[in-house]
Structures are given as structure tokens and as C-alpha cells.
Amino acid sequence: MAQGAESGPSPFTPGYSKPPLVFGGHENELHEITAVFETLDFGENDSLLISGLRGSGKTSMLSRLQDAARRSGWIVLSDDASKGLMTRITESSIPREINRLTPATRMRLSSVGLWNFSASFEFVDRSRAVKPLLRDDLIALSSALGGDAGILITVDEVSSGKVRLRELSRFALEIAHAKEEGANIMIAFAGIKVDLDELVKNDHTTFIRRSRDLDFRRLTPRETAHVLEETARIAGRSIEFDALQLLIRVAQGYPYLIQLAGDYAWRNSPDSPAISLADAQVAHDKAIKSVQKRVISRVYEDLSERDRDFVNAMALDEGGRSKMSDIADRMGTYGQYVQIYKNRLIDSGYVQPDGRGYVAFSLPYLGDYIRSMDPQGPDGDEFRDGWSAFPPPPST
């Protein structure tokens, strides 16, 4: 791109439900799962549990699966786990997908008697002669596809609330019955791990207990650099070396923050052929403040009072890792009891083991956010697992 030439819109996508241009991490898993859409050889991939915190890439993964399924001629039913899921799927999603089927496929569906069609086999409405059951709909749709494709069902934002879990349990039971009748179905649930664990414990979710687990956490420094560089390259720009190093340190492998920092850096001088260190410095100032306000503060509010006590005790340590015995002392409890909170926070993705008897924050800037509420607390945070060479830059 020539100097002064105007570039296109930012290729970085920090907005909700906007899949990234370059997907970082889980490439092997994505390839294995999407291969099912061509082969119908499900293996362990007939049900998936995709876990991770807000902004970790779960929804982007669902979008990738949906796009790949549609390209292979699959029916895609996607929704979230809010109240009325079953009704929305049967009364809205399935009729919408029927209208997208070929006339020949709709002709086959017309003989089932679950839906009414016009003389030209256009979908009209649901037949009320038969009580609508999701299992019957799925069996009929799978059969109408003639064994050449299947049905992908994705459910985002799984919650562990009792009412939501009861509906999800009934939803899972309907899918289980359809699968038992031979319907080609892949189901993917996405949410925080502790909520998915509660779903698995519920009645009628036996097949979900054998699901393939995909745990979305931080990308490595190498993966982070790849996403930043490749996204900019596809859109016609490069990133200067020093700018890239700073953006890696700012993003800390957190997928949402990678997109947010990249977006701020891109927009700072959109007509320049390269993202400069000055652009990255502007992104640093904006991105950290934004992610703490939009994500970290809400994640912290989601924690129980005792979980907050645990992470508050961790935030007192300046070096970025905390000794479990120190956390227990600060919480005023004993070691075995504090292990309960440690394990729950690790499963949720907030915390990670960092050597025998130690833990560290795995959610970037959570410690900084907690310390920002206590002016007397220490500054700085250092992360392990390959991130020690890329410490987050100090706040300005």
C-alpha cells in the first residue's frame, strides 16, 4: 500500500458476536470437528462443551462451526440458553431453516405431516394435527436430508440457574431421543465451565457427559502475534516490530483484548501503511481501560463473595503468583477449605496453577483491576506459561 493511501475499515472485530478474521488457537480441533460436516463420521464430535470466560473466543468458535456446516449443506439451529429456547427452536428456527431447503427436500418433508406446505412446496405453517415435539422435527429434518448432511445445534450462554438448567435438560432429552432414532446431529453448548459442569450433572444429559471438551483460555505469545500480524496483513497493512511487541504485551493472549487493541491501533492512523509504535501506545492506553470497564469489572461482579475474598487475597502479591498458604491466612481459613475456591476459580478460568502450592491470575488485568480499587495495593503483574517474556506494560 502506498504512503498516504487510504486503507479500508478496521479488520479487527471487538464487537460482540463478530467472528475474528483470523482465528487463533484450537486450529487442530476446528479442523477435526468441521471435517464431520463433509464425512458424517462423528467419532467423539457429536456433542461439544465449549468453555471459557467472556471474550475468550467461545462464540467465535460457534460461528466458525455454523459457517462450515452451512457450506456443507447442513441445517444450523443456533440460539442461546435464555428462557423459551425450546419454543424458539421449534416455532422460529426450524421454520426458517425449512424455507432455506431445496424444493426437493421440502417435498420429502411434506409427507411427514408435521408442517403444512403450499402446492409449490413452500412452507406455510406448522401442522397442529400433531403435538410439536423437537425430537420429531429433528428426526424428520435429518431424514429429509437423505444422509448427505446433518443438523448442527449450537446453544450459547449456558447458565447454571435452576430454571434454565431444567429447560436445557428437557432440550437435551429431546435431542437424545432424536439421536437414538438415527438423526445425524451435532450439538455444541458454550458457557463458563462451572455452568457446563452443572448442565452435565442434570437428569437426561447422559450423552452430554461423553462430550468433547474445548477449554478456551489465553493464546500463546506466538499465536497472539500471528492473529495481530495476519489480520493486519489481510487488510493491507503491516505492524512494525516494536508495535507488535507492545500489542502482544497489552493483549496478553486474551482473544477479545487482541481484537480490541488491534482495532484501536488500526484506527489511530488508518491511512498509514504500517501500524506504528505510537499507534500501539494509544491502543495500550485505551484497550486496558476499556477491557477493565467492559469485561473485568463484570467478571469480578459475577464472583461469589468468598471467591472475591480469594482473588482479593491473591492481588496483594506483587510478583503475579500467590502462595496457597498465604491466601488461606489472608482469608482467615484453613488449607483444605481454601482448596475448594481454588479449584472452582481454576475451572472457571480466572486462576491457574503456577507451581506446587502456588496460583496466578489467568485472566489478564484482573489483579490490576482489584488493586485499582485499593490504592495501597502493590502495582504490576507477571504471568507465567510463556508470558513472563511479555509482561503487561505499566498503566499510564
pLDDT tens track for 316-360: 997 779 999 999 999 998 878 899 999 999 988 889 999 999 999
Q: Is the pLDDT of residue 375 over 60?
A: no
HSE of 285, CA atoms in CB hemisphere, 13 A = 7
Which of 347 and 142 is assigned the larger pLDDT? Answer: 142
Spell out the domains of the chain, with CATH numbers in brackets.
27-216 (3.40.50.300), 221-299 (1.10.8), 303-372 (1.10.10.10)
Residues 6+ apart with CB under 8 A from 121: 103, 106, 107, 110
Q: Is the pLDDT of residue 124 over 50?
A: yes
Phi then psi for 214, rounded to 5 degrees?
-125, 115
pLDDT at 6: 55
Q: Is the pLDDT of residue 266 over 70?
A: yes
Length of the chain counted residue by residue: 396
Which of 282 and 24 is assigned the larger pLDDT? Answer: 282
Reported as a single tens digit per residue, the pLDDT across 150-187 is 999 999 999 888 888 889 999 999 999 999 999 999 99
> What is the Cα gyration radius of the chain?
24
Closest alpha carbon to 37 in 74, 62, 77, 64: 74
pLDDT at 205: 75
Average pLDDT over the chain, rounded to an integer = 89
User: What is residue 328's three-state secondary structure?
Assistant: helix
Give the rounded percent of residues in the chain with a pLDDT score beyond 70. Answer: 93
| Local confidence band at 117 (pLDDT 50, 70, 90 cut-offs) | confident
Instruction: Name the H helices within the chain.
Output: 27-39, 58-71, 85-88, 94-100, 103-110, 134-144, 162-180, 193-201, 221-234, 241-251, 255-268, 277-291, 297-302, 305-314, 324-331, 335-348, 366-372
Q: All 3 cell numbers of residue 79?
A: 440460539
Closest alpha carbon to 150 in 186, 108, 114, 188: 186
Say what angle helices 324-331 and 335-348 make with each other, to 10 degrees: 110
pLDDT at 396: 63
Dihedral angle over CA of 260, 263, 265, 269, nearest 10? -160
pLDDT at 382: 40
Which of 259 and 198 is assigned the larger pLDDT? Answer: 259
* Contact (CB, 8 A) for 155 and 81: yes
Q: Is the pLDDT of residue 381 over 70?
A: no
* Contact (CB, 8 A) for 47 and 176: no
| Local confidence band at 376 (pLDDT 50, 70, 90 cut-offs) | very low
Strand partners for 151: 75, 185
* Matching residue, cell 507465567: 384
pLDDT at 8: 78
pLDDT at 123: 79
Measure the CA–CA gap between 261 and 280, rounded to whole angstroms. 8
